[in-house]
Amino acid sequence: MINPLKKKPRTHFLQKAPEKPDWLKVKLTFPDPKNNPVAIVRNSLEKKKLNTVCESASCPNLNHCWSRKTATYMLGGDICTRRCSYCDVASGKPSALDRDEPKRVAESAIALGLKHVVITAVNRDDLEDGGAAHFAETVEVVREGLPDCKIELLVPDFKVRPESLEIIFQCKPDIFNHNVETIKRLFPEVAPQKKYERSLDVLKIASEKGFLTKSGLILGMGETVEEVKECMRDLIGVGVSLLTLGQYLQPTPTHLPVKSYVLPEVFQELRIYGKSIGFKGVFSGPLVRSSYHADEQVSWNP
């Protein structure tokens, strides 16, 4: 069921996105409808009443990822306390945390036989710890059921509260992921409740604690290639090892308009540049998202 809050306009714009180029059009077919892996994942999630960023953020890779029996679990409900102009997750006043949610995430991951679990959450600025303890509890029960499973946490900035970050560090995720999302100049327009420096601080602290850190950028929102490279250097400067670069796709006419569809050759150029300045892995392409083939990103190094 679509949250009605998603229908609220995100910006003053009313501009339909330009037609997608061919490289952004994806179609999957399944020879055996009775053994459709997308349906298997959907049924598992619906049975456990779980949210995913795949659905809430209208990710273009939903069918592809679910066909691989992977999904990114989204904790804390489906209402975010922040209102970014590009994001399709509903914004408003969230409900109380569902205390049974960590257990259901673990049960779903076990049922799907996942070897790499990505767990994220909506921003919960209404909570004293920003939802950090809820993350930690989920990691604990997933590890109990899947001791050999890699756990990647895609976390908000927690407003860089030391207590919240320490809760995350104590649960020892295999990958600490926090997306900077865009270049510094665009933050006031794209993510007014976030701060570029704050995101860098979160990643720096995690890197200094010895965690494998990861971040991501969405392109096509008005940035230049040089600004992207500058941001990449900033991320290297705070110790980030893994980077994802993907194309912004405008969810509705009232969201931030797409400024450009970045050519595949530019994504390739940025991948090569990222490797040259020290990233251990750069996953760069029009349809790449932070969790896209996350299980492969750790060792992805063509």
Chain-centroid distance, C-alpha 257: 20
Q: What is the pLDDT of residue 2?
A: 47
Residue with tokens 């996942």: 114
Residue 59 annotated in ligand binding: yes
Q: Is residue 291 a known part of a binding site? A: yes
**Using 50, 70 and 90 to split pLDDT, how confident is the model at 25?**
confident
Domain containing residue 79: CATH number:
3.20.20.70
Q: Return d(Cα 164, Cα 83) in angstroms, integer.
A: 21
- Is residue 279, in this structure, part of any structural domain at all? yes
Q: Is residue 105 part of a domain?
A: yes
**CA-to-CA distance for 63 and 216, rounded, in angstroms?**
21
Say if residue 149 carries a ligand binding annotation.
no
Q: Is 219 helix (H, G, I), strand (E, B) or coil?
A: strand
- Give all strands (DSSP E) within 86-164, no chain letters: 90-91, 116-121, 150-154
Q: What is the model's pTM?
A: 0.85
At residue 132, does pLDDT exceed 90? yes
Instruction: List the beta bridge partners of residue 247.
Output: 219
218, part of any domain: yes
Please check whether residue 291 lies inside any domain of the structure. yes
122 near 158, Cβ under 8 Å?
Answer: no
DSSP secondary structure, 275-291, as one string: HHTT-SEEEESTT--TT
Residue 82 CB contacts under 8 Å (≥ 6 apart), including other chains: 91, 123, 125, 191, 193, 194
d(CA 126, CA 174): 27
The answer to whether residue 302 sits within a structural domain is no
Which residues have CB under 8 Å from 265's CB, separation 6+? none
| Residue 22 falls inside a structural domain | no
CA atoms within 13 A on the CB side of 276: 7
In percent, the amount of the chain with pLDDT more than 70 equals: 76
Mean pLDDT of the chain: 85
Looking at the structure of the chain, the number of domains it has is 1
For the segment 26-82, what is each residue's pLDDT rounded down to a tens digit?
A: 665 555 556 666 666 667 667 666 666 555 445 555 555 655 556 688 899 889 999
The single residue listed with the structure tokens 């993510």 is: 191
pLDDT single digits (tens) 141-190: 999 999 999 999 999 999 999 999 999 999 999 999 999 999 999 999 99
Q: How far is CA 10 from CA 17, 58, 152, 161, 178, in A?
A: 14, 15, 29, 28, 23
The DSSP bridge partners found for residue 91 are 80
Residue 30 belongs to a domain: no
Q: What is the mean pLDDT of residues 8-36?
A: 67
Beta-sheet strands, E only, within the chain: 72-75, 79-80, 90-91, 116-121, 150-154, 175-177, 213-219, 242-247, 281-284
Question: Could you say which DSSP state residue 100 is in?
Answer: T
127, 163, 178, 217, 228 from 186: Cα distances, Å: 27, 29, 18, 12, 11
Q: 171 among the known binding-site residues?
A: no
Indicate if the pLDDT at residue 115 is higher than 90.
no
Confidence of residue 88 (pLDDT cuts 50, 70, 90): confident
Over residues 272-299, the pLDDT tens digits come to 999 999 999 999 999 898 876 555 655 5
Give the CB-side neighbour count of residue 74, counting CA atoms within 13 A: 18
Query: Is residue 271 domain-resident?
Result: yes
SS3 state at 68: coil
CA distance 223 to 246: 13
Question: Which residue range(s) make up the domain with 236?
Answer: 35-297
87 is in an annotated binding site: yes
Number of C-beta neighbours around residue 162 at 10 A: 10
